[in-house]
Amino acid sequence: MTRSDELVSILDRILNGSRDEGDVAILRQSLKAIGGQNVVQLGKYNVSIGEGKDIHIGDKVYQGADAQTIRSIFLEVLSQNTRQLEIDWHNINQAMLSEQQRLTTNPLTSGEGITYRTEQVYVPLGLVERKKPTRRREDVSPEQGSELYRETEITQTFEHQQFLEQVLRQRQSPKSQGRRIAIIGEPGAGKTTLLQQIAQWVSVEMGQSVVIWVSLADLRLRELESYLLEVWLQAVARKVGQAEASTQIKDDFVAQFNQGLVWLLLDGVDEMQATVGNPLAEIERQIRTGTLLQQARIVLSCRLNLWDGGSNALDSFDNYRTLEFSYPQQVEQFIGNWFGYLSSAETQTGQRLCAALRESGKERIRDLVKNPLRLTLLCFNWYLGEGKLPQTKAALYEQFVVDFYKWKKGQFATTGEQRKRLNAALGELAREAIDKEATRFRLRQEFVCEYLGEPDDADSLFGLALRLGWLNKVGVDADNPRKGVYAFFHPTFQEYFAACDIDDWDFFLPRNHVNKPVEAKKYQIFEPQWKEVILLWLGREDVKKEEKEAFIKALVEFEDGCRGLYFFRAYFLTAVGITEQENYSKTDEIVAQIIQWYFLSEFLSRQ
C-alpha cells in the first residue's frame, strides 16, 4: 500500500468510527497548514477544506457530513501540531546529564559486575593554571616518578571548590572571563570525571543553565552545531513525547543560546576526528563560524599530548591542568570509596590494600597510583586477587599493560600486531634510555625518534605511543624550548618495558665471568638503576625457569677475586631476587646464609 492509499484508508476508518491512536499519529505527521485555515497539505495532496465545500483528496470526493467530519478532524490535528509545547530545558538537561555520570573504567570492570556512577567514587581533584609548558632539565627517580608530570610554570593552584566558584561562577580567568575553559592532563588523570562533576555542579548551581554533554568521539566528522540540532535535540523531542523536533522546539532551543544559558561540556578533543589539520584547529573553526557555539560557555577536556603537541588554535581558552591524588589522604579516600560501594565485606578488602601500600618497599607503587586510572587498575586487580596482588611485580605490570590497552580500546583500537610492534619498540627505547642517557626517564625528542620514528610519519610508532598515552610530553628542553621532552606513563612502566626487552641474563652479568671482570662487558648487577629491572626480569613468566636459576646461581657463586665487596653485593641482590622467583630450590639456603652473616656482624660489632 502506498502512503497516499494509507492516508485515504485512515480517513475511511475515521468516518466509520474505527480509527485508533496510530491513525491519528500518522495523520499528525502527514498534515501541514499551507493556506491559513482553508488549505492544507496531506501527504502529496493540497486539500481545500473551506466551510461548506466538498473535500477532494486524489480521486476521492467527500461531501456533506463526511466532509464536515474530515474538516473537523483536520482542524483538531492542526491545532495540536501548532499548540505551544512548554519545555523545561533545565530539567530536561539534568535528566540527560544523569545518563552521563558513569566512570570511564566501567567497561573494564563490568565483566565482574562492577560499575560505578561518578559521584560514588569521586575524590575532588585540584587544578593548576599554567603560564607555559614546563622547561625540564633534571631527571627523577622512579620512586618519585610523578614529579616528571609536575608543573613548575604556574600562575595559581586551585582546590576543587575554589575552581568552581572563582573560575566558573565568578568568571575570574585571564583570557576568557570563564567563557572558554580547557581541562588538560595525561591519560587517566581524571579529566572526564572532573568534567562530569563540573557539568553536574553547573546544572545545580547556575540558575536556569542548560548544560549539554558531548563526547566528541561520537561526532564522527559531523559538525558540532549540526550534532546539537539533529541528534541532541532529537533526544530532547523524544523525552517530551514527540517523534521528532518540531520547528517550535528548534526555535526555543536557539533562544536558550541567545539568552546565554547554554554550557557545552565537550569531552575528549583528542578523540575527535578532523578532516583537515588537528582536532584543536577543527574545534576552533567550528566555534568561530558557528552562530550558536559563539554564544555558549564552553568547557572542554583534552590530553596533554595534543594540547602541547605543537600549534594550538585554541589560544583564547584558559587552560587548567589536573593535579594527581595526594598520598595517603586522597589515595586512601579513593580506595575506601571504590571498595565501600561493593559490599560491607569488601570494605575490609580496601582497608587491607591501604595497609599493604603503607609497607616499606612500596615507594614505587605508592607513587604510581597517584594517577586515578592506575589506582583504579590497582583496586581492580586487588579485588580479583581477593585481597592479594599477583605473585611477582612483573605479573602485576603485565596485567596493567593489558588493562590499559582495554581501557583505550573504545577511543584508539589497536590490533594484536600493532601492540606487539609497539611494545617491542618501547622496550628497546626504555632499555637504551636507562643504559645510555644522562637523564634516564626524561627523554629527549631526538632520542625517542631514533627508536620510534618521527611522530607525524605514516604508521609512526611514536605517534601511536602518544595517542595511547604510553609516552607523554612533559615539557620542553630547558636549553632548547623548541624541542619536546617526553616520559613514559610512569617510570616504573619504563623499567617494566626494559625488562621485557632483555632476552639473556648475560646483559646483567657476563656468562663467562670467572673471578675478574670480562673485558668490554658491563656488570649491570652493580648499577643501582638496573636493580628494579632485574627483579622484573626474574618475575617474567616467559623466561624459562632454568635461565632464571642459572642467573641466580651465577650471582650466588660470584667471585671478585678477593671475596670482597662485590661478592657480598651480588649475594644480597640474590636475596632480593628470589622473592620474584617462585619455588626456587635454594631459597632456604640463601636466607640462612644472610641470617648467619647478620648475626656475625652483630657479634663483631659488640667486640
Axis-axis angle for helices 461-468, 445-452 (nearest 10): 110
Distance CA 567, CA 557 (A): 8
Query: Which grid cell sits at 537?
Result: 626480569
SS3 291: coil
Please state, in angstroms and as integers, the Cα–Cα distance from residue 538 to each residue in 398, 432, 500, 581, following that order.
Answer: 13, 19, 10, 6
Query: Which grid cell sits at 503?
Result: 632476552
Query: Which grid cell sits at 475?
Result: 615539557
pLDDT in tens, 459-505: 889 999 999 999 998 888 877 878 889 999 999 999 999 999 999 99
C-alpha triplet 362, 367, 368: angle, nearest 5° = 95
Assign 433 a pLDDT band (cuts: 50, 70, 90).
very high
Share of the chain above pLDDT 70, in %: 88
Within 8 A by CB and 6+ apart from 605, the residues are: none
pLDDT of residue 591: 52
Nearest to 487 by CA among 190, 148, 187: 148
pLDDT beyond 50 at 175: yes
Q: Cα dihedral angle (301, 307, 311, 316), rounded to 10 degrees?
A: 50
pLDDT of residue 589: 60
C-alpha triplet 232, 233, 239: angle, nearest 5° = 100
C-alpha triplet 491, 494, 498: angle, nearest 5° = 145
DSSP state, 165? I
Strand residues in 516-597 grouped as ranges (E): none
pLDDT of residue 346: 87
pLDDT in tens, 104-121: 888 889 889 999 999 999
Q: What is the mean pLDDT of the chain?
A: 84
Nearest to 254 by CA among 283, 284, 218, 225: 225
Assign 289 a pLDDT band (cuts: 50, 70, 90).
very high
pLDDT beyond 70 at 582: no
Q: Cα dihedral angle (505, 508, 510, 515), rounded to 10 degrees?
A: -130
CATH code for the part of the protein at 90-322:
3.40.50.300
Assign 590 a pLDDT band (cuts: 50, 70, 90).
low
Radius of gyration, CA atoms only, the chain: 33
Which ranges in 38-111 belong to alpha helices (H)?
64-82, 89-98, 106-109
Please state, in angstroms and as integers, the Cα–Cα distance from residue 372 to each residue in 117, 213, 435, following that order.
Answer: 15, 22, 30
Assign 567 a pLDDT band (cuts: 50, 70, 90).
low
Distance CA 192, CA 205 (A): 20
Distance CA 577, CA 549 (A): 11
pLDDT of residue 575: 63
Whether the Cβ atoms of residue 372 and residue 190 lie closer than 8 Å to each other: yes
**Is beta strand 39-42 parallel, antiparallel or unpaired with respect to 45-48?**
antiparallel
Please state, in angstroms and as integers, the Cα–Cα distance from residue 519 to each residue in 12, 92, 470, 512, following that order.
Answer: 103, 76, 37, 11
> Mean pLDDT across the stretch 560-570?
64
DSSP state, 525? G
Give the phi and the psi of residue 138 in degrees, each rounded to 5.
-85, 160
Query: Exposed, middle or buried: residue 204 (CB in 10 Å: 0-12, 13-18, 19+)?
Result: exposed
Which ranges in 151-261 belong to alpha helices (H)?
160-163, 191-205, 224-227, 233-239, 247-258
Whether the Cβ atoms of residue 76 and residue 85 lie closer than 8 Å to each other: no
Query: Which grid cell sits at 335?
Result: 580506595
pLDDT beyond 60 at 588: no
* Number of C-beta neighbours around residue 241 at 10 A: 7
C-alpha triplet 185, 190, 195: angle, nearest 5° = 95
Distance CA 36, CA 43 (A): 17
- Give kind and range of the element (H or E) at residue 335: helix 329-340
Distance CA 167, CA 171 (A): 5
Nearest to 173 by CA among 216, 127, 134: 127
Axis-axis angle for helices 531-538, 393-408 (nearest 10): 90
